[in-house]
Amino acid sequence: MHRIFAILILSCWSVSGWSDVIETSVGKIQLSQVVKGLDTPWAIGILPDNSFIVTERDGELLYVAEGEAKRVKGVPKVAANGQGGLLDVTIARNFSQTRELFLTFSKPQRGGAGTAVAVARFSESGDRLTNLRIIFEAVPGGSGGRHFGSRVVEAEDGSLFITIGDRGDRPAAQDRSNHLGKVIRINRDGSVPRDNPFVDNPDVRPEIWSFGHRNPQGANLDQQGRLWVSEHGAKGGDEVNLIRPGANYGWPVISYGVHYSGQKIGEGTSKPGMEQPKHYWDPSIAPSGLLVYSGKLWPKWKGDLFVGSLKFDYIARLSGNPLREVERIKGPETERVRDIVEASDGSIWFISVGQGAVYRMSRL
């Protein structure tokens, strides 16, 4: 049993506990710690009443409300190995009516594990999941603990985008007969939308929305409803991509990185028929968690992308056309930023794996 330490959160969003003031490009903002003592936290889901849920990779799901953090029962069994475990959580758009949430996790399978998506109802008491159903399971699974992805994003029409890594099998990302190295799109019941790009091709998995990805661990919609994804390169070549249906994002045929051995990857940095990233990092920052900001609290940041760095311990702000990194929000609190989300009031929340904590950025 993990020991969980919660900082009191009041209904007016003031925090009884640790807070600080940091300097940014929009001036001074307040940085507050809202929960600490977490064990490898992976994702945050903020509920309509401003309470929130946190996943821990070893399989724990925590609910934080009114100064208390408690364990949620009914979580699916996970294969907690390497990068695998209990991963993303997304609150359904119609949560107020359905109380549904979506989880991604590494599901135990014969010979290993695979990325899976479940939907469940969150109890009124906040202590358990009920009516849990697995609505998607990547094919094939595999041994090893690398490159599961995995973010789940609900589009405005209720369909779900799920990012899936290549599981260390590089050629699989170009093979459309499997789900590895892909962004997929399904309906909330797990069925396939009729307007998916390959739905009428019998040689392609119908759930595939885009392919040629390595390990996408950040995803979010912009104000136009377009999907943006951040993904890990090898040694160099971390990318931010604007996802188009049916598009090929190149891995492992093209990349701006090299193998960890120093050897060249594929055929170079470009090839006809393959997409170019909107931004790439070299050296790698290990991006995980991506937010396209609404501008609600800080209008100057409207439409900007915020991406967490696991390697260099900062939050990157990207802006402009062409897209480029224009600011680094950095401090002890940004140690290994895994997830970054926006609350309904426009505040920005992020997970620091290094600190075992969740932080909230808000106006003074």
Sign of the Cα torsion 236, 238, 244, 247 reads positive
Q: Does the active-site annotation cover 147?
A: yes
Nearest CA to 218 out of 232, 229, 233 is that of 229
Instruction: Please enumerate in sequence order all residues whose Cβ is within 8 A of that of 44, keeping only pairs 6 or more positions apart, or say none.
Output: 52, 53, 54, 89, 339, 341, 349, 350, 351, 358
Residue where the block lists tokens 């809202």:
34
Read off the tokens for 215: 């390990």
- Six token digits for residue 25: 């490009």
Strands (E), 181-299: 182-186, 208-211, 216-221, 227-231, 238-242, 279-281, 287-292
Q: Report helix, strand or coil for 264.
A: strand
* Extended strands (E) in 232-273: 238-242
Containing 96, the helix (H) or strand (E) segment is helix 95-98
Q: Which of 2, 147, 213, 279 is catalytic?
A: 147
Q: Which residues are catalytic?
A: 147
